[in-house]
Structure 1
Amino acid sequence: MDTGNAFRNLGTGSQNVISSGTQNNNSGSGSQYNANTIAFHQHNDANLLADLRVTDPRDDKTRIEDTKGGLLTDSYVWVLQNPDFCQWRDDKDQRLLWVKGDPGKGKTMLLCGIIDDLQATRKGKPLSYFFCQATDEQLNTATAVLRGLIFMLLGQDPSLVSYITKEYDIIGKDLFQGKKAWQPMARIFKDMLRDSNLRGVYLIVDALDECSNGLEQLLDLIVETSQSTSAKWLVSSRNWWQIEEQLCTVAQRLSLEVNASSVSTAVDSYIMVKVSHLSKLKGYRDDTARKIRQYLSSNADGTFLWVALVCQALKKIDRWRALERIKSFPPGLDALYGRMMQQIGGEEDSKLCRQILALVVTTYRPPSLAESTTLIKECHDAAADDPEFLQHIISLCGSFLTIREDIVYFVHQSAKDFLMNKAYAAFDQIFPDGIARQHHAIFSRSLEVLSKTLRRDIYELRNPGSSIEDISPPNPDPLGPVKYSCMHWIDHLQQANSADSPVRGDLQDNACVHTFLKCHYLHWLETQSLLQGMPRAVLAMQKLQTLVTLEGHINWVLSVGFSPDGRQLASGSGGNTVKLWDTATGQCQQTLEGHSGSVNSVAFSPDGRQLASGSGDSTVKLWDTATGQCQQALEGHSSTVFSVAFSPDGRQLASGSDDNTVKLWDTATGQCQQTLEGHSDWVNSVAFSPDGRQLVSGSHDYTVKLWDTATGQCQQTLEGHSSTVNSVAFSPDGRQLASGSDDKTVKLWDTATGQCQQTLEGHSHWVMSVAFSPDGRQLASGSGDKTVKLWDTATGQCQQTLEGHSSTVFSVAFSPDGRQLASGSNDYTVKLWDTATGQCQQTLKGHSSLENVFEVAIQERTGDLMGQRHMLSQQDVWITNRAQNILWLPPEYRASSHAEDGSKIAVGCRSGRVLLLCFESEYQQLSSTSY
């Protein structure tokens, strides 16, 4: 790196300067390294730092403190004498401390204070930190946390760059980003922590609950390195059981609720400061200030955020009305947010307030003022006359939003959580037509403004070979107001693709997407290059391709089931649909629509003529598998139906529900014959015995029950699991029963005695589904650890672990001959496996999940295309192979006539030209010739 290149240093104190060059100012404490003068002698290292940097956590800390009105010493000083904190700080064997508490209790500012104290008192000790933020996609992933921590460590010891350069020289910036970045980043990070220069390093991560992507693997890494290295971890989060589960055995806890008296004292100090500021601003009399302090102290319940929001509201209230109005602010954050929404409803511009709230809730990162103005047409029109119009509207949004450096943020994550909670009226107020419609509005507006803005050479460079490092945006930047739209219009199109907001019309020929790409595709690519977003653009186009070419589930696959003859597979999803698939070709034959909630369970009748589906809309539906028509809707449950099962003779149907009951239905009449009561919590799974005389149910009450189907009496209650029972299944001979549980085990029971015969252990997460093979020799289990396991039912040994899903496996089912196993997953796919070899035979796709785009792009095009028949679709719009859309034909290349020959197809275009297309499998490419 050239000596003139800048890299800001951490801390003050003794400076180690190896070579000459401009000296940077230092801030903070600890041993000093001047990064632009000692370590980075190659220009490639400067590129590495630029590519690694996702944020500078020091800037984030400053922004957070400034947004919250500054760091008040009295708000955190109590923790410096707390025994749990002191033990973690001083005892070398105590290396993981978890600070936990409810929203608004001051966790973030507490950690800011701890960081300042460690920098002041632990000079010479390296320190790195990161602040997660759920509303910013750059700050809410596990990979981003590691990038931020490593970036700060390099600032203190640039020699650590040696752990990165070898892989970076080969991979480049892709080492740090994308789906595959976690593994190498975690490996590099762990190697760094073993370096002697980082002995006793302090690592602090705030708001783990706001790490939306990769939290589980981040927690695993924190636990592992707290035990295998000398690093000292301090993390904070809300009281989430998922975090509790992974940290419970290794972490000390510092609960803000347990330390309520200390927190309350800190809040009282905070109230004194805030009211003092208010008194100077508003001119309160001493008596008024005293009564305001009393009200705040009596109702704060140890919540800094509640105090801050009330004081923010008091700034807008005349001083003579302060005492009257303060009593209208109820205690509790959610109640206060509700009051703020009522006030917004009374504003003249309440519609615009709701629109800006809806926008900031649904964007993938906090938008700038310019971007927000652009994305809301009414604000854009008004801003032409008054540039500060949007700031005025935001000031009317209660105290939900704040502006810093022209970026619009939520004042706190709990504010966004409140607006997103469907249990509150606020959700319907800002999303009256559903959240998918809001995504569609952002997509539509984005395409509209991009179509008006994008043009060739928008920065007027006049030299298409310009290096991106040499380009500076003009002032004003024409891309500033549309930057968000450039990056995310396809993301919002994808999110709009739901049952209540279909986007198929937008994806038709000559509709808005087609028109935009015809006119501005190259302009958009140029813009992506200028914004250094080409990797994202590639992924976006793959995502768009998925939306255009695939017909399949657009949500979690929750249940799968084979037809009795094995020729069909049914799958139910979180997208409220059931799909019927051809198991030979993998093609979707029918999509059954009618449920208004997720389809949690599907089951074929013994003769294969009917399909039953249980749904989150509290109903069970019976479908004709030949026509796809709904024959009956069985109503009677008062809550979600989690499981359905046909009796062996097909005359009865059982359903298990969130209402804690099992119901038996007459499939001919649709009448409820019996309601089986006895479980004390919801029923996750039901199954008939092979002779139909017994029914088994598994429940959230940790038990399995066996019922007499004739009398409805409970015969046995099987106890042994230590958590929710998610799935139950009878063996083909009816002598055994299997149950899968959240306790990560599968249990095999003797149905005659009710005794547990074996406990199968091996999964590292919940067991969501179990199924016996037709001969009863194997048992399959699907789990939250993303795997399917095949077990020997005689020995209890795991025979195979089937890996390939990228998320929780909700459902497993054997084919009637036992040669295939189907698994349905949260990754929006159904996979068919060969039970003998454990190989995945097919992946049934058609999904809106980005993590599957690569799978789609590769698997649909890497098969043996030679010798397979390529055809034109019925509308001559697509070239197809095995009924899959392979190549889209623009209108000017549509066929007036055509001829097909295996891997070749000749198209006689309406213009008179002939297009010859050859599909070559060896190189997985298409060649074309035009005559």
Structure 2
Amino acid sequence: MVHFKSARWKKWLHRDSGSQNIAPPPHQADHCTNDSPASELASAPCASECQFRPRNPPPSQDLWKSAFDLLSREEQNALQISLIPSSTTDALNDVIETTKEKYEIYQEKGGIRIRKSTGEEINIRKISKKIINATLSFQEVISAGVACDPTGHAASAWAIVSLGLTMAKNHSDRRDALFESSEYLAEALARCAYIEKKICHNRSDEDDVVMQAMVTLYKTILQYAAKVMASHNMSTRGKLLDSVTATTVQYITELRCSIEKEEQKLFHFTQLQLLEAIEKITVSLQKQNEKATEEILTAIDDKLSKSLNALNLRFSLPISESAFWNSYQHEDLCLEDTRVQTRSQITQWADSVESECIFWLNGGAGTGKSTIARTVAQSFETKGQLGASFFFKRGEPDRCNAKRLIPTITKELIKQNKDLASGVLKAIEQDPQIAAKDVTEQFNKLLLEPLKSVAMYQSRTLVIVIDALDECENDKEIEKILQFLPRVHQSSNMRLKIFLTSRPELPLRRFFEKEGSHRRLVLEKVAEEAIREDIVRFLEHRFTEIGAQANTGKDWPGNDVVEALATVCIPLFISAATICRFVEQPGDDPVERLADILNNQHRYVTRMDKTYGPILDQTLHERDKNDQEKQITRFKGIVGVIILLSAPLTISALSEFVGIGARSVEFHLDSFHSVLSIPDKKDHPVRILHLSFREYLLTTQSRFHVDAGMMHNNITLHCFRVMSKYLKRDICKLNSFSTQRADIHSETTEKYIPEELRYSCRYWMFHLTQSKPSIPDAEILSFLEKHFLHWLEVMSLMRVLSETLKMMVTLKESIQNNTNPGLSNFLSDAIQFIHRHAQIASVVPLQLYASCLVFTPTSSLVRRASENYHSPWIHALPQVEISWGAYRQTLEGHSDWVTAVAFSPDGQTVVSGSSDMTIKLWNAATGELQQTLEGH
């Protein structure tokens, strides 16, 4: 809503309505004196000097002409040589269109807020709304007020509103003043036009002094317009634009002072009844056009939203939607009055222009790093400071490695600045497979180069939040991420910072010991008393909620119990959270559950024992020895599998995977809501709530210890059982060997490839290499000879065929010391088969049984094992070589001649140099591009 100095008018309206002599209000700004620059803009004597009334007041329709005649010749020339709209109507339309245009530009860059020098932010949408509302609300009045102005000087004043918005585009350091000057001038012009119509066009002899005040006011506005026009004209002839914006800021200060002075005179001589009428009609017109104004801006918002959605569709970047800070609604945030000091330090770092590029928050398991990260991410988002977020999590396919880190961050940053899109699209067009490349190359091509190409547009800092970097399972990827993160500071046109959390693992400690430009906060070094107070607040809050649900009474559990629990938990917030979840678990009295925890603390040694021990032991209560053994076996067969899965499974898929009925699985898991996330929806997976529970089970000396090697062995056998049950040729019943993968709907693959099979096909090799004791070679070979092509078909249908080569290479390397050559020979042949046929199989999966098989050398072990699976309509087989030749694969990526090739001393890496000024490092076994070095 537009406010036309209503506060000042109300001040006059509240005076004694019966008073005949209304004293003028005092000056409202001490700096508006006759000694200020503003005095040159308003040289008319003060009304109180009784010399204000002219002998021959101008007719009302000549007010702007009279004001123009009072200008100096230089000022008149500045206005006359400028490109002024032909009519006031054109000027008003131009203001609206310019405002819409500039609003759209800034909304395209994420709806930015511009910060003043005082630190206060101005909202572009709010200012745009005010300008449009002012123009719409008074369009009829303004047109009537200046329709008889033959020289079009009112139109020139309105043109300055548009000019200010235009100048703001290229002057980020002056945007706040330029935007506000346009807003202020629009309101002043609208206010004056309305007063002119209501007073001067119905004039009496007593109104001459009011008319003279209006002329002086118009003169002030025209002087401002002339100065801005003159400065702008100079800039177009080669003068520095910076000086233009600086003087414009000075002029608007002078204009404010002069308008305030003239309005004081105007209000002094204006009848009280007219002021009341103006106030009422002003409010009425504002409300009347509020909807129209909102519709104009909303139309732009909707247009940009659709444009952004269309843009996203053009991107082939696979992102991890589950890695966003708010992907899971149930995950906790810090209570409002906890972690106050830590959050304050992070906020100050983010807001400071001079602070370091990276803030590293580190601490041991369960100290609350992720909760703090989610909380500050929410705070940054609320303030418009969140650039992107990525929360790593071990055991989550899209979050346990860096494959989707850069694509996810890039897409999120595009929402903040659409100018990034062109650079990102260019990178994708140059290399459509960029999302599958090494994380460093992704960073350089998808993020750094586009960041360098965007124009400077914002004054605020955007923060990228990366949580739990230590849960990235590839140590080499962690090292690469740490190497390139500081380089985001090279993007001078977007102010980016990184908020990073992790455990203090060795690779991270070593890096930050060398990297000087970072700020570090160790959670364990926060004063113990502060941690205790926060844990006490958390426990009090949660027990109040639990007590209210269970009707335990308002005094439960009491201060002594809370203090005792805080002592047990310090410094692990996860301990406090886990105990509370255990106590509130339905089915038992929370008072008794809490008492059990407190009464049995003496039985446990470590803090993790004190947290998880009572929860696990509670499942064995009132069971005899044999029943306890069965319970523990069932626990390891279900929960032991859950903690080691590479991707979480739903209860139904988990049931099929482990071979236990869904009802039994669900019943067993019902006791573990305090340590597992067990969703109500059947299509949502079961997850561990915190990594510390997994680590506890793998290291504890209690009866609940899970042997990792043995459990991986069991999981591998589960994978083989599931794959042997489902795998077959044409599993999706396509009935055509020419069906392309792109034409197969996801509903089809989900129908015929159940979740447990998808998991088994993708992760069996990982579990096999972790198994102790190892799976017998004969068992592995038997599976591959029967189902190798079936497995490749499913991997192609799942769009992850590219993973199979590395899986086979890794498996071959893991069995090199085995005495049985049969499996090793088959794997060597399988690697050759994938090298040769992966491209066609990824496009048309069923060609594995047609062209791929028949064009494979006749001595191939894969071909011999799969003779029964080739396409039935192929009767005449082509002549092919007997064995694989030396050719394996074409390495593609250079854009010019390759001038040098070499192998690393260990034979693991191929290095190629090119005239395109790059050196590329390739994995010699898989052909995978590992790194690109530029600029040699």
Q: TM-score under structure 1 normalisation?
A: 0.52
1:491 is matched with which residue?
Answer: 765
Contact 1:222 1:233 in 2 (8 A): yes
In structure 2, relative to structure 1, the CA distance for the partners of 1:101 and 1:540 (3 Å cut) is same
1:324 is matched with which residue?
Answer: 595
2:424 is the alignment partner of 1:146: no
In structure 2, relative to structure 1, the CA distance for the partners of 1:396 and 1:412 (3 Å cut) is same
2:134 is the alignment partner of 1:134: no
Structure possessing the higher relative contact order (Cα contacts under 8 Å, 6 or more residues apart)? 2
Contact 2:334 2:375 in 1 (8 A): yes
Which residues of 2 match residues 842-881 of structure 1 at below 5 A? none
Distance 1:495 1:10 in 2: 50
Contact 2:809 2:831 in 1 (8 A): no
Secondary structure at the counterpart of residue 158 of structure 1: coil
1:208 is matched with which residue?
Answer: 469
2:320 is the alignment partner of 1:54: yes
Contact 2:387 2:463 in 1 (8 A): yes
Secondary structure at the counterpart of residue 137 of structure 1: coil
Which residues of 2 match residues 658-673 of structure 1 at below 5 A? none
Deviation at 1:273? 1.3
2:238 is matched with which residue?
Answer: none
2:634 is the alignment partner of 1:352: yes
Contact 2:857 2:882 in 1 (8 A): no
Contact 1:275 1:289 in 2 (8 A): yes
* 1:142-196 C-alpha deviation (Å, 9 max, x unpaired): 3422222112112222331212222312432x2112x535413334312234333
Contact 1:88 1:95 in 2 (8 A): no
Determine which of 338, 344, 355 is the counterpart of 1:75: 338
Which residues of 2 match residues 493-508 of structure 1 at below 5 A? 494-495=768-769, 500-508=773-781
Deviation at 1:546? 6.5
Contact 1:99 1:256 in 2 (8 A): yes
In structure 2, relative to structure 1, the CA distance for the partners of 1:241 and 1:298 (3 Å cut) is same
In structure 2, relative to structure 1, the CA distance for the partners of 1:169 and 1:916 (3 Å cut) is closer
2:511 is matched with which residue?
Answer: 246
Distance 1:417 1:76 in 2: 26
**Letter paired with 1:153:** L
Deviation at 1:393? 1.8
1:96 is matched with which residue?
Answer: 358
In structure 2, relative to structure 1, the CA distance for the partners of 1:505 and 1:318 (3 Å cut) is same
Contact 2:857 2:883 in 1 (8 A): no
Distance 2:472 2:618 in 1: 32
Distance 2:508 2:595 in 1: 43
Q: CA RMSD in A?
A: 4.8
Contact 2:651 2:686 in 1 (8 A): yes
* 1:716-768 C-alpha deviation (Å, 9 max, x unpaired): xxxxxxxxxxxxxxxxxxxxxxxxxxxxxxxxxxxxxxxxxxxxxxxxxxxxx
Determine which of 521, 535, 550 is the counterpart of 1:282: 550
1:220 is matched with which residue?
Answer: 483
Identity value in percent? 14
1:369 is matched with which residue?
Answer: 651
In structure 2, relative to structure 1, the CA distance for the partners of 1:206 and 1:546 (3 Å cut) is closer
Report the count of equivalent residues.
553
2:593 is the alignment partner of 1:314: no
* 1:764-806 C-alpha deviation (Å, 9 max, x unpaired): xxxxxxxxxxxxxxxxxxxxxxxxxxxxxxxxxxxxxxxxxxx
Contact 1:506 1:512 in 2 (8 A): yes
Deviation at 1:361? 2.4
Deviation at 1:271? 1.0
Contact 2:470 2:502 in 1 (8 A): yes
Distance 1:119 1:463 in 2: 50
1:333 is matched with which residue?
Answer: 608
* 1:240-290 C-alpha deviation (Å, 9 max, x unpaired): 232122123222112222223333322222111110111012222344321
In structure 2, relative to structure 1, the CA distance for the partners of 1:891 and 1:914 (3 Å cut) is farther
Distance 2:395 2:642 in 1: 9
Deviation at 1:433? 6.9
Determine which of 768, 786, 791 is the counterpart of 1:515: 786
In structure 2, relative to structure 1, the CA distance for the partners of 1:206 and 1:469 (3 Å cut) is farther
Contact 2:317 2:407 in 1 (8 A): no
Secondary structure at the counterpart of residue 441 of structure 1: helix
1:414 is matched with which residue?
Answer: 692
Contact 1:419 1:426 in 2 (8 A): no
Distance 1:846 1:890 in 2: 13
Which residues of 2 match residues 137-176 of structure 1 at below 5 A? 137-172=397-432, 174-176=433-435
Contact 1:53 1:147 in 2 (8 A): yes
**Letter paired with 1:234:** F
Secondary structure at the counterpart of residue 326 of structure 2: helix
2:717 is the alignment partner of 1:441: yes
Distance 2:675 2:826 in 1: 34
In structure 2, relative to structure 1, the CA distance for the partners of 1:96 and 1:893 (3 Å cut) is closer
Contact 1:226 1:233 in 2 (8 A): no
2:563 is the alignment partner of 1:294: yes
Contact 2:832 2:884 in 1 (8 A): no
Distance 1:371 1:466 in 2: 28
In structure 2, relative to structure 1, the CA distance for the partners of 1:224 and 1:46 (3 Å cut) is same
1:255 is matched with which residue?
Answer: 522
Deviation at 1:438? 2.5
2:706 is the alignment partner of 1:430: yes
**Letter paired with 2:689:** V
Whichever of the two has the greater Rg, that structure is 2
Contact 2:367 2:523 in 1 (8 A): yes
Determine which of 445, 449, 454 is the counterpart of 1:191: 449
Contact 1:32 1:156 in 2 (8 A): no
2:497 is matched with which residue?
Answer: 232
Contact 1:129 1:204 in 2 (8 A): yes
2:804 is the alignment partner of 1:540: yes
In structure 2, relative to structure 1, the CA distance for the partners of 1:463 and 1:298 (3 Å cut) is same
Deviation at 1:886? 6.2
**Letter paired with 1:254:** L
**Letter paired with 1:251:** H
Deviation at 1:435? 3.7
1:180 is matched with which residue?
Answer: 438
Which residues of 2 match residues 662-741 of structure 1 at below 5 A? none
- Structure 2 unaligned blocks of 5 or more: 1-107, 114-122, 129-293, 295-299, 622-627, 839-855, 869-876, 890-936
2:372 is the alignment partner of 1:110: yes
Contact 1:132 1:205 in 2 (8 A): yes
Distance 2:511 2:709 in 1: 38
1:38 is matched with which residue?
Answer: 307
Contact 1:546 1:848 in 2 (8 A): no
Deviation at 1:436? 3.9
2:89 is matched with which residue?
Answer: none
In structure 2, relative to structure 1, the CA distance for the partners of 1:892 and 1:437 (3 Å cut) is closer
2:732 is matched with which residue?
Answer: 458
1:303 is matched with which residue?
Answer: 572
In structure 2, relative to structure 1, the CA distance for the partners of 1:96 and 1:51 (3 Å cut) is closer
**Letter paired with 2:864:** P
Between structures 1 and 2, the one with greater helix share:
2
Deviation at 1:127? 1.9
* 1:363-407 C-alpha deviation (Å, 9 max, x unpaired): 2112222321211102xxx23xx4xx4332222247332124521
- Structure 1 unaligned blocks of 5 or more: 1-6, 18-24, 26-30, 556-576, 580-587, 592-844, 862-878, 895-912, 926-931
